[in-house]
Amino acid sequence: MKHLIDPMDLSKQETDEIISLAQDIIAHRERYQGSMSHRKLATLFYEPSTRTRLSFTSAMMELGGNVLGFSDARNSSVSKGETVQDTVRVVGCFADVIAMRHSIEGAQLYATEVSRVPIINAGDGSHSHPTQTLTDLLTIQRELGRIDGITIGFCGDLRFGRTVHSLIKALSRYKDIKVILIAPQELKLPDYIKRDVCERTGIPYREVETMEEVMPELDVLYMTRVQKERFLDEDEFDRVKDSFVLDAARMSLAKKKMAVLHPLPRVNEILTEVDADPRAAYFRQVENGKFVREALIVKLHEWKDDPEHGMPAQEEPVYDDTLRCVNPKCICNNEHAPHKFRRGEDDVLRCWYCDSKVR
């Protein structure tokens, strides 16, 4: 069975198949209406969402399927203390596929260990957001006509922005990608992405302090919101909250053919004066999210019983009872998930569920 917890759960070929199916759905919407009739999607959202939850809902409706679930865990048995694994066991009796968002990192991966239906990670803490990645890839393809060979600048909260982490991972499989990281010291990209993704796969990246110095070379500018809810320290948030703002003057430095993406919601990091610029792709990106989720639902259903499309082979986990994950927001510090680790670059041990470095 295929789950989508991390962008690397899909091979490059599977990713490309989803992107091209989404394009076919856009071109021939009527062909897919009814393809999921009598099937049910459960949306289990333990954390706020507008776009992601509604686009999953809308995607399933377009395919003629039904949707059930909750958008506020306080109204579910979670408030009685039910674990993620138990909830998923129960919901698997009612639905054919589950889309889950959780503020606890690794919650969805832990849930796959007991699930009898495919689970789609709709965002886990500041860790991963693979369906936003599919949305972003489709948007880049549609805006620029290619993904290979782009120079992409990630700007804003690269530390807590899960959409950034997942997109960089996925881009590591395309050709000649250049990554430029534009962030203040406090919001820099986590080390595990730099070392285990960029350095391991050889994506060139560089870190800069201002947008101006790199605007002219970008094919894609990926803007992000400072993730207020992930900060443990409010003063730190106040110091960085207005770090980078995109305005018309900065846009005037960019190439004529360029695309500004943002997973949304925006707060103040893109002025509304940019919205009318033809390069502002963020609202088109939202609609792409619906089409790509339709394609994903269709493909996960098609692959469900196909051994050719299982989960990718994993290295053996390391079990060590003397070690603990250092991340208070990891599933293994919130539920009874085992203390399980994977070996990263340079023999570093990382938590199996959230990738935090433990040794």
Q: Binding to ligand NCD by residue 43, rule CB under 6 A?
A: no
Report how far apart the first and last C-alpha atoms of the chain are (Å, whole number). 32
Q: Smaller CB distance to ligand NCD: residue 83 or 285? A: 285
> Nearest residue by C-beta to ligand NCD?
263
Q: Burial level of 30, CB count in 10 A (0-12/13-18/19+)?
A: exposed
| Binding status of residue 52 toward ligand NCD by CB under 6 A | yes
Element (H, E) at 342: strand 340-343
How far is C-alpha 111 from the geometric centre of its chain's CA atoms?
17
Give 321's contacts (C-beta < 8 A, 6+ positions apart): 339
Contacts 24+ apart (CB under 8 A), 21-29: 21/295, 21/298, 21/299, 22/134, 22/138, 22/288, 22/291, 22/292, 22/294, 22/295, 23/138, 23/141, 23/142, 23/291, 25/291, 25/294, 25/295, 26/291, 29/62
> How far is CA 22 from its chain centroid?
17
Q: How far is the CB of 126 from ligand NCD (least distance, A)?
A: 8
Contact predicate 177/219, CB 8 Å? no
User: Six-digit token pair at 310?
Assistant: 């299982």
Contact track, ligand NCD, 211-230, x by CB under 6 A? --------------x-x---
Distance CA 48, CA 64 (A): 25
**Which residues, 135 to 194, sit near ligand NCD by CB under 6 A?**
162-163
Task: Pick one of 65, 106, 125, 263: the residue that binds ligand NCD (CB under 6 A).
Answer: 263
Q: Smaller CB distance to ligand NCD: residue 108 or 132?
A: 132
Q: Which two tokens stand for residue 196?
A: 């285990």
Listed residue (235, 240, 277, 237) closest to 255, CA to CA: 277
CB of 280 to ligand NCD, least distance (A): 16
Closest to ligand NCD by CB, 96 vs 157, is 157
Which tokens in the block code for residue 260?
Answer: 């500004």
Minimum CB–partner distance for residue 264 and ligand NCD (Å):
5
Minimum distance between the CB of residue 64 and ligand NCD, rounded to whole angstroms? Answer: 25
User: Shortest distance, CB of residue 133 to ligand NCD, whole angstroms?
Assistant: 10
In the complex with ligand NCD, which residue's Cβ is closer, 52 or 115? 52
Nearer to ligand NCD, 126 or 334 (CB): 126
CB of 229 to ligand NCD, least distance (A): 9
Q: Which of 152, 171, 240, 264 binds ligand NCD (CB under 6 A)?
A: 264
What minimum distance in Å lies between the beta carbon of 225 and ligand NCD?
A: 4
Binding residues for ligand NCD, how many (CB under 6 A)? 11
Are the beta carbons of 45 and 70 closer than 8 angstroms? yes
Quick check: 132 binds ligand NCD (CB under 6 A)? Answer: yes
Residue whose CB is less far from ligand NCD, 43 or 52: 52
User: Of residues 90-129, which lie at the interface with ligand NCD (CB under 6 A)?
Assistant: 123, 129
Q: Which tokens hold the place of 121?
A: 């990670």
The site for ligand NCD (CB under 6 A) is made up of 51-52, 123, 129, 132, 162-163, 225, 227, 263-264
